[in-house]
Structures are given as structure tokens and as C-alpha cells.
């Protein structure tokens, strides 16, 4: 099994790249997140690999970091999630965003991913809720503790303003912790909007 490739980037295409290792070009499929992290040709690159062997092919899937690779492995354990859909999910949501989406049961964040319908989104949220806390970029507390009270109200308000719950959750938790006890909803939302406006789009 191939677990790692270190070689020259031969080409970068939509959904895949070719890594030249000592004159042998390996076709590696990857998320847009990993592909954007790779240097342009002909620079050297190091790519983590997940090898999937089928009757008719040996397929290589590449990842820029271990967290994304581990999430790929977990996602493909869910019925209805093949390698293509898993890469599509990881292209749309970084591991930390995926963890946040599962934490708040944000079905809308998942159904925006090409290839993920409402039924599959529910299956992902149900099957991964207990497992996500142990995954890279996640904390058991964030997954297991339900979001309620002030945080839930703030998330609802931000969702009404067009922010995805998965994206807003880390900011809401950070702002509430900073403002400490007695924080009012309008103050939390105001501070969250300031922080979210500074984040790159």
C-alpha cells in the first residue's frame, strides 16, 4: 500500500494532481483544499496517501495533512459515502468546520455539498456525532455538549443574518468566553459580527 508520496508536482488539475516520483507519475485525486495547498509545478511536494484497491483499478487519494486523511477514512465508513463524495465534503468543509456542523446538527451545511442529499446528511450527523469528538481538530466537549442558552440564541441570530452555524460556532464560543458571565445577546452578536467580518472569505 502506498501511504506517502514525495516528488515533483507534474500538474494540478480539477480534482487531481500528478506527482512525479523518480520518473513515475502517480495520479492522485484530492480535495480542492489539498490541491490549493500544493505548490505549483515543478516544485517538490509531500502528499499523504490513502490507497483504495478495486478489481479494476488502484486509486490514490492525497491529503495535505493527517486531519483531512483521517476524516476521509471516517466519512467513507458511512453508507452512501464513497471516495468521491468524501472528497466533495472535505472540499466544502475543513475538518474543524465539519466538526462544528456535526456538533450543532447543521444539516444545511452538509446538503450544500454536491452529492449530499437530506437523507445522507441525516445519516452523517447521526452516525458521526459520537465519533467526531475523537477526530483531529475536534474536542469531545464541543461534540458531546449540546449548544443551548445564550450560544444557541446567538447562533440563531447569526444564521438569520446569513452565517452558517458551523462557521459561526467557534466565534460564538470565543466571544461568550471573553465577555464572561452576564453577557447580553445583542452584545454577543455584535462582537461576533465584528470578528466574522475580519475573517477571510
CATH number at residue 122: 1.10.150.20
**pLDDT for the residue numbered 104:** 85
* Number of alpha carbons in the 13 Å side-chain half-sphere of residue 14: 0
Q: Please name the residue that has the C-alpha cell 468566553.
A: 177
Residues spanned by the domain of 114 = 66-144
Which pLDDT band holds residue 181 (cuts at 50, 70, 90)? low
Q: In the beta sheet, which residues pair with residue 55?
A: none
The answer, yes or no, to whether residue 85 has pLDDT greater than 80, is yes
Which pLDDT band holds residue 37 (cuts at 50, 70, 90)? confident
Give CA angle at 144 (109, 112), nearest 5°. Answer: 5
183 and 155 inside one domain: yes
Q: Please name the residue that has the C-alpha cell 495533512.
A: 65
Query: Each residue of 102-131: pLDDT tens digit?
Result: 888 889 999 999 999 999 999 999 999 888
108 and 159 inside one domain: no
Domain CATH code at residue 15? 2.40.50.140
170: cell is 467557534
- pTM value > 0.85: no
Q: Please name the residue that has the C-alpha cell 438569520.
A: 160
Give CA angle at 172 (169, 178), nearest 5°. Answer: 140
47 and 70 inside one domain: no
The answer, yes or no, to whether residue 73 has pLDDT greater than 50, is yes
Average pLDDT over the chain reads 85
Query: Each residue of 132-179: pLDDT tens digit?
Result: 767 866 333 322 234 457 888 888 888 888 887 767 777 887 888 788
Closest to 4 (Cα-Cα) out of 65, 37, 71, 49: 49
119 and 135 inside one domain: yes
Number of structural domains the chain divides into: 3
Closest to 121 (Cα-Cα) out of 162, 156, 152, 92: 92
CA distance 172 to 158: 9
Cβ proximity of 176 and 190 under 8 Å: no
55 and 76 inside one domain: no
Amino acid at each position: 500500500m502506498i501511504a506517502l508520496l514525495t516528488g515533483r508536482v507534474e500538474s494540478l488539475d480539477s480534482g487531481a494532481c500528478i506527482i512525479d516520483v523518480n520518473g513515475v507519475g502517480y495520479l492522485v485525486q484530492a480535495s480542492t483544499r489539498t490541491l490549493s495547498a500544493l505548490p505549483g509545478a515543478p516544485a517538490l511536494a509531500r502528499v499523504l496517501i490513502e490507497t483504495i484497491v478495486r478489481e479494476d483499478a488502484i486509486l490514490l487519494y492525497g491529503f495535505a495533512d493527517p486531519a483531512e486523511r483521517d476524516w476521509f477514512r471516517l466519512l467513507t465508513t458511512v453508507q452512501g459515502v464513497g471516495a468521491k463524495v468524501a472528497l466533495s465534503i472535505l472540499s466544502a468543509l475543513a475538518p474543524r468546520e465539519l466538526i462544528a456542523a456535526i456538533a450543532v446538527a447543521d444539516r444545511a451545511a452538509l446538503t450544500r455539498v454536491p452529492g449530499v442529499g437530506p437523507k445522507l446528511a441525516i445519516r452523517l450527523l447521526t452516525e458521526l456525532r459520537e465519533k467526531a469528538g475523537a477526530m483531529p481538530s475536534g474536542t469531545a466537549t464541543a461534540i458531546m455538549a449540546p449548544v443551548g442558552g445564550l450560544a444557541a440564541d446567538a447562533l440563531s441570530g447569526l444564521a438569520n443574518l446569513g452565517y452558517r452555524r458551523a462557521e459561526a460556532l467557534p466565534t460564538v464560543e470565543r466571544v461568550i468566553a471573553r465577555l464572561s458571565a452576564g453577557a447580553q445577546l445583542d452584545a454577543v452578536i455584535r462582537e461576533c459580527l465584528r470578528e466574522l467580518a475580519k475573517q477571510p472569505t
